[in-house]
Amino acid sequence: MQPLPPAESLTQRLADSGLRATPQREVVYSVLLRKRDHPTAEEVFARVKSELPTISLATVYNCLETLVQCELVRAVNFERSPTRYCPNLRPHAHFHDDQTGRTYDIDLPPAVLAEVNQVLPAGFDASSVEITFRGQARPAS
Amino acid sequence: MQPLPPAESLTQRLADSGLRATPQREVVYSVLLRKRDHPTAEEVFARVKSELPTISLATVYNCLETLVQCELVRAVNFERSPTRYCPNLRPHAHFHDDQTGRTYDIDLPPAVLAEVNQVLPAGFDASSVEITFRGQARPAS
DNA sequence: ACCTTATTTGGAATAATTCCAATTCCAAGT
DNA sequence: ACTTGGAATTGGAATTATTCCAAATAAGGT
């Protein structure tokens, strides 16, 4: 079990960007933290509804986008399937199980990250790198 | 300049999969080989039209899908933007320039690929890995 | 309280892709 | 050559995820 980010970081991060901590944003974020199974926007929508029955799908998209902007959440894209959302802030790759469709986080040691960045020729300045595996998973844990 | 794959490999690969070498498939493939700028399906459609004015967009999608199945072409996805197509068969990553939108191939040495695969815990069996950089490019060549 | 701006909302619009049913095209067997 | 069955193509409709938009609501600073 990894340490979770402190709960107050949302309000903090939003404030840093001059944004407000609304109930919608808080619930969307808490839903992501509660069940870290890389839900789609629709899935987040369904989960948030039980707490905020009148929230709209557009708002869920807005909140998710805001959280991504604040760097509290990562948007994960796999092929052409709907975007999934991930509150894991540690450097990690994603593993997509072709059979089950489940997505797993794979921690990336700094050394590997460094080596991957080495492959860039002069003149290429990367602001981010995304590593995605596909295959079959039979995770131990 | 890298060696191009032999021209006859299309017919060969298709036959291997029990598929036919149609004019549409040939022209779509040749268009990809001729200008390797990671075009979208719409862009391929536009280029193919000059040679086959009556081809339909659906056929372009079909042909591209077929080429991907035959492993002659890779489908490249960036965020939510349209899929791009790439006939480079060497192991390589992609670099997406945020300013220009251009995509560059970055060769991946086998050693790096090996190290990246090392990060997978026991029980994860990857059939492929996708590495994508985003940032700013000022390529030497 | 008031004003200004941020945020939310529902519905319409968009964009990329896929689906579908109707031809058309081949290739193999007679 | 002629048929025939499956493959491939075609145009258009449908789907899906997401974004856009304009109106309504909420919230913080004065």
Is B3 a member of any domain?
Answer: no
DSSP class of residue B120 equals S
Q: Domain check: are A59 and A108 in the same one?
A: no
Here the tokens at position B86 are 């790439």
Give me the count of residues in chain B: 141
Distances (CA, A) of B27 to A69, B8, B14, B74, B89: 42, 13, 14, 17, 18
Alpha-carbon gap, residue B16 to A119, rounded angstroms: 34
Nucleotides of C under 7 A from a protein CB: 6-11, 15-20, 26-27
Neighbouring C-beta atoms of residue B41, cutoff 10 Å = 20
Q: Does A19 touch chain B (CB under 8 A)?
A: no
- Tell me if A123 and B137 make a contact (CB, 8 A cut-off): yes
User: How does residue B23 score in pLDDT terms, banded at 50, 70 and 90?
Assistant: very high
Q: Which one of B80, B93, B119 has the shortest CB-CB distance to A106?
A: B119
Q: Domain check: are B98 and B81 in the same one?
A: no
Contact, B56 vs B96, CB < 8 A? no
pLDDT tens figures, A28-42: 999 999 999 999 999
Alpha-carbon gap, residue B92 to B105, rounded angstroms: 6
pLDDT given for residue A28 in this prediction = 98
Q: Domain check: are A72 and A120 in the same one?
A: no
pLDDT tens figures, B68-102: 999 999 999 999 999 999 999 999 999 999 999 99
Q: Domain range spanning residue B42? A: 9-86
Q: Does B131 touch chain A (CB under 8 A)?
A: yes
Q: Does B120 touch chain A (CB under 8 A)?
A: yes
Here the tokens at position B75 are 């489908």
Please tell me the total count of domains within chain B.
2
